[in-house]
């Protein structure tokens, strides 16, 4: 019996370490592991060399609707949907493991295309929770056929994504001035 509890605790610590290394906030760690707050803070300090950041988690769906965050969120959500359906995760923590796998693939995709990841692990986790609670849905672009994050109950007829019809100032930063808006955005599969 004691062996099972030790194995379970080791799994929890391993998960917490993986989440911390990916940039998880303390609130995410508390929600997804059974470790105490004090233990998580000590683990965070040991791994990062600093205290965890303070402050509230993102609480609005509006961040996911702006141009670049929408593209990155839609990419992540597409990966997550695939992993969740076909990734073979099971058990009580299947959602968090699917999020971690999906987030790692999202980071690989961004690095492969020379893009900076816009989505943090905490935002990715929040995005999945918003979908689970029915606050967000996906709309299919009438031009490219890609599925993009949208508010729940938004009109779907005639929807055009931010890649097919970018806003006039999309991608026009000093950092990305030589690149066009479509080069800067990650590729999204339908």
- Structure-block tokens of residue 170: 């999309």
Task: Supply φ then ψ for residue 188, to 5 degrees.
Answer: -120, 125
Cα–Cα distance for residue pair 138/78, rounded to 1 Å: 10
State whether residue 148 is helix, strand or coil.
strand
Cα–Cα distance for residue pair 145/140, rounded to 1 Å: 6
Residue 144 known to bind ligand: yes
Cα–Cα distance for residue pair 182/164, rounded to 1 Å: 9
Residue 112 known to bind ligand: no
Question: Which candidate, 163, 159, 158, places its Cα nearest to that of 185?
Answer: 163
Cα–Cα distance for residue pair 49/39, rounded to 1 Å: 15
Q: 82 in the Ramachandran plot: left (φ > 0), alpha (ψ -120 to 50) or beta?
A: alpha
Greatest distance between any 2 Cα atoms in the chain: 62
Residue 161 known to bind ligand: yes
Task: Supply φ then ψ for residue 127, to 5 degrees.
Answer: -55, -50
Which residues fall in the annotated binding site? 141, 144, 161, 164
Which residues fall in the annotated binding site for Zn(2+)? 141, 144, 161, 164
């Amino acid at each position: 019996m004691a062996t099972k509890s030790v194995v379970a605790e080791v799994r929890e610590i391993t998960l917490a370490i993986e989440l911390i290394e990916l940039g998880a906030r303390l609130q995410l760690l508390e929600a997804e592991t059974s470790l105490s707050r004090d233990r998580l803070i000590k683990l965070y300090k040991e791994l990062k060399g600093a205290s965890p950041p303070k402050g509230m988690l993102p609480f609005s769906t509006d961040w996911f609707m702006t141009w670049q965050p929408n593209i990155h969120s839609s990419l992540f959500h597409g990966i997550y949907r695939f992993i969740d359906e076909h990734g073979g995760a099971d058990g009580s923590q299947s959602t968090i493991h699917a999020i971690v796998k999906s987030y790692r693939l999202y980071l690989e995709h961004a690095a492969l295309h020379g893009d900076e990841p816009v989505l943090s692990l905490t935002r990715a986790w929040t995005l999945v929770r918003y979908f689970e609670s029915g606050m967000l849905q996906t709309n299919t672009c009438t031009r490219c056929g890609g599925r993009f994050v949208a508010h729940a109950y938004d009109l779907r007829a005639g929807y055009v994504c931010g890649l097919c019809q970018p806003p006039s100032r999309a991608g026009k930063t000093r950092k990305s001035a030589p690149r066009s808006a479509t080069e800067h955005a990650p590729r999204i599969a339908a």
